[in-house]
Amino acid sequence: MEPVESKSATRPTRPVELLFECKVYYEDTDCMGVVYHANYLKFLERARTEYVEKRLSSVAEYHNNGYLFMVHKVEIVFHAPAKLGDSLVVRTWIESTTRFRIVVKQIITRQGEPRDYLITATVTLVAVSPEGELKQIPSEFHSL
């Protein structure tokens, strides 16, 4: 599905977030029909990729220019389960950057239920060269 940009009307200083929609398929669930915990990482990853591509440039282009983004740290709080057939919305925004890190905030909700969080996550990314050496975050990320 097509990502949708959203701006907060009540807090103008809040960073622009991207809304990424996805559906829960059978392959995403366990034997009870709820999303298997590790599969939330896939939803979060897809939303982060769409965020970068919508706001800056394709992840493949960064890759081809020697910037490989790696997850350094993930903190996830599981509030409620997503279930087979649910339509989900992943809200994504960059909370902060440093010289070597990007901190991304993400929230997963069911479509139409934006205040009922299923997942809240904080993901810290770093950039490395193809040889695995730590690189400074590209400057354009700091403006996000």
Amino acid identity, residue 133? E
Query: What pLDDT is stored for residue 36 in this prediction?
Result: 96
pTM: 0.85
Query: What pLDDT is stored for residue 111 in this prediction?
Result: 94
Query: What pLDDT is stored for residue 13 in this prediction?
Result: 56
Tell me which of 28, 30, 86, 116 is the catalytic residue: 30
Identify whether 28 is a catalytic site residue. Answer: no
Query: What pLDDT is stored for residue 102 in this prediction?
Result: 96
- Spatial neighbors of 46 by CB under 8 A, at least 6 apart, are 20, 22, 90
Q: Where are the domains of the chain?
A: 4-143
The topology (CATH level 3) of 4-143 is Thiol Ester Dehydrase; Chain A (3.10.129)
Find the Cα–Cα–Cα–Cα dihedral 41, 66, 141, 59, rounded to 10°: -50
Residue 35 near residue 106, CB atoms below 8 Å: no
Query: What pLDDT is stored for residue 49 in this prediction?
Result: 95
DSSP code for 138: P
pLDDT average per 10 residues of sequence, the chain (144 residues): 46 74 96 95 97 91 94 97 97 96 97 92 97 94 87
Find the Cα–Cα–Cα–Cα dihedral 139, 96, 40, 83, rounded to 10°: -130
What is the distance between the alpha carbons of residues 28 and 14, in angstroms, rounded to a whole number?
Answer: 32
Classify the phi-psi angles of 66: left when phi > 0, otherwise alpha if psi is within -120 to 50, otherwise beta: left
Query: What pLDDT is stored for residue 16 in this prediction?
Result: 87
